[in-house]
Structure 1
Amino acid sequence: MNLIQQILRAVLFLVLAFFGLVMAFVFMASTALAIGVLYIVARLKGRPFGVKAYWAERRRPPMPPRPGAPGGRQTRERDVTDIEMREIP
C-alpha cells in the first residue's frame, strides 16, 4: 500500500511540474511577443527601442501647460520626498 501511495505522489508531482513548465513557457512566449510588438511599434514611430531611450524619455521634465489650454492644471514646484506613515491597530 505504501508503494502505491509513493507512486501516486510521484505521478501527481510530475503532472504538476509539467503544468508549471507549460505555464512558464506560455509566460515566456507572451513576454517575447509583447517585446516584439513594442519593438515594431517603436520602429514604425521612428523612436529607438531600449532601456536607455525609455529612461531618457521618462526623466525628461514635463512640458509646462500653455496659458489658456483646456485642462491645464498647475503642477507643484517641488517633488515629494517624504511621507507620513501610521500603523492602524
Structure 2
Amino acid sequence: MNIIQRTLRAVLFLILAFFGLIMALIFMASTALAIGVLYIVARLQGRPFGVKAYWAERRRPPMPQHPGARPRHDGTSRHQDVTDIEMREIH
C-alpha cells in the first residue's frame, strides 16, 4: 500500500511539473513575441529599440498637441508628484 501511495504521489508531482514547464515555455514564447513586435514597430518608426532609448523618451517632456500650441506655465508642474503630507494633531 505504501509503494502505491508513493508511486501515485510521484506521478502527480511529475504531471504538475510538466504542466508548470509548459506554462513557463508559453510565457517565455509570448514575451519573446511581444519584444519582437516592439522591435519591429520601433524600427518602422525609425526609433532605436533599447532600454536607454526607452528611458530617454520617457524623461522628455510631452510634445505640444499642435504646432502653434505652447506649454502652460502657471507655476505648477504637471510632473511634480505629491510624495509627503503634513499631519497636525488637534488638542
TM-score (norm 2): 0.75
Task: Point out where structure 1 has 5 or more consecutive residues left out of the alignment.
Answer: 85-89
- Name the counterpart of 1:82: 83
Cα displacement (A) at 1:31: 0.4
What is the match of residue 3 of structure 2?
3
Structure 2: distance between partners of 1:10 and 1:63: 60
Cα RMSD (Å): 2.4
**How many angstroms does 1:7 deviate by?**
0.3
The CA distance in 2 between the partners of 1:5 and 1:32, in whole Å, is: 41
Question: Equivalent pairs: percent with the same residue?
Answer: 71
Aligned-partner Cα distance in 2 for 1:47–1:30: 23
Detail structure 1 runs of 4+ shifted over 6 Å in the superposition. Answer: none
TM-score (norm 1): 0.77
Listed as ranges, the matches of 1:13-28 within 5 Å are 13-28=13-28
CA drift at 1:9 = 0.3
How many residues are matched? 79
